[in-house]
A = this chain, B = another copy of it.
Amino acid sequence: MRRGTNLPWVGDYNQAVVLDGIRRSPGTSRTELARSTGLTLQTVSNIVRRLLERELVREDVRRSAAPRTAGKPRAALSVRPGTAVAAGVQFDRDHVVAVLLDLTGDVLDVARAERDGVGPAASVRVAASLVGTLVAAGVERGTVEPGAVRGVGVAVPGPLDFRGPVRSSAINLPGWRGVAVAELLQDHLHLPVLVENDATACAVGELWRSPPGPRSFLHVYVGAGIGGGIVLRDEVLRGESGNAGEIGHVVVDRTGPECTCGSRGCLEACAAPAAVVRSYVGLVGAPAAHRAGLALTESSVLPDHDLLDGLAAAGDAAATAVLRRADEDLADVLIGVVNVVDVGEVVLGGPGLRRGGPRVRAVVHRRLKAAMSHELHGVEVRLSDSGEHAGALGAAGGVLHEALSSSWSTARTPLRATVISPVAPVH
């Protein structure tokens, strides 16, 4: 049964819309907001008054470039820095990254630590310590107001089990299956924790840093595995179990290698960095791979993968072949996803693309141009510019997004939810 909409919720929603509009268009005016949101000027003015009272927004009359009209100066609205901040943490196979994100969209600080193969409990301790250090430093520097931290977003490789306390089902992080990440981190930080699939978090981060939209895109994250996050008209597509966008286990070759998920020939098993390195070794043998400079240890997957890009550029036929195959596999899957979900933009990111990004982009671009969907809507392909902390940034963005969408009547209390809901509420 669809749910109806009672008035208090509508008020929350409109407030979130207005605050988001101010955040994404700094210097905007009440009149512009009314035009862009479709709300009446009176509604916008009432909401802005509340946001000013709560010191989330400020107005700056002098900054206005418009001439005085009817004796009333145009007030430029922007969000106040430092009043609402979120921490974001991303766990990947090799490292932990933490960021502090301001409501204005600025990344205030970044910290990083190697994981060195430690298990989830120790990794969470490391993450908690990174976050604690970032917050303390921010308060000391005056960029963060005490009590402004709304919560911590955590990005972990998917899939995630949202049916109880959010648990990792990550098949790429040994020892993480069944770990209730949010609860562990909350024990250390005493802040609300939102857990998000890393690829979805990247998509949220991309959305968070977008100019006024609406935007629809698929964000591909190549890390230890290959994941995807989907945004449709500024809303994250979550799906029924909260794991939408899981492109890593789309079958690209039924007769291909076994996948850690139990299936065969999944994209991840064929085209993730570890699979590509494995294919190379399969072609040339381990001694030749060593001679070519590959370390072939468990923690050298990404550097080894980067090295293959250089070898291919230098004319190494085996490196060229394995990368081309992986690129085409990824392109096959992306054509399918673009057709099925019908988005006009693909964003490629993650540490697995830090060197080969432009090459992969070119292949995906060429293949998508030949695909059926192209006739009805062009598909842009671009590389993410969020860098290696994209997931942490997105997880923090998710916390602020959730906070914006919640009732700000309790603005100084923490988020209501301690875990992200698997499905976005039906509006």
Contact = CB atoms under 8 A, between A and B. Distances in A.
Interface of A: 1-7, 10, 13-14, 17-18, 20-21, 24-25, 36-40, 43, 159, 161, 169, 171, 212-214, 216, 228, 230, 232-235, 237-247, 249-251, 254, 259, 261-263, 266, 328, 332-333, 335-337, 339-344, 370-373, 375-377, 423, 426-427
A239 B232 contact: yes
A2 B212 CA distance: 8
Contacts of A335: 249-251, 263
B371 A241 contact: no
A1 B39 CA distance: 12
A206 to B, nearest CB: 16
A338 B263 CA distance: 14
A interface secondary structure, majority: loop
22 contacts: A1-B21, A1-B25, A1-B36, A1-B214, A2-B37, A4-B37, A4-B38, A159-B375, A159-B376, A161-B376, A232-B237, A234-B426, A235-B426, A241-B342, A241-B373, A241-B377, A245-B340, A246-B339, A246-B342, A337-B340, A341-B341, A426-B427
A339 B247 contact: yes
A39 B4 contact: yes
A38 B159 contact: no
Given A169-B375, A241-B376, A375-B169, A2 B234 contact: yes
Contact of A340 (B228, B370, B375): B228
Nearest to A375: B169
A214 B2 CA distance: 6
Contacts of A3: 17, 37-38
Nearest to A343: B240
A376 B243 CA distance: 9
Nearest to A337: B340
Given A328-B254, A342-B238, A377-B240, A246 B372 contact: yes
B17 A13 contact: no
B43 A6 contact: yes
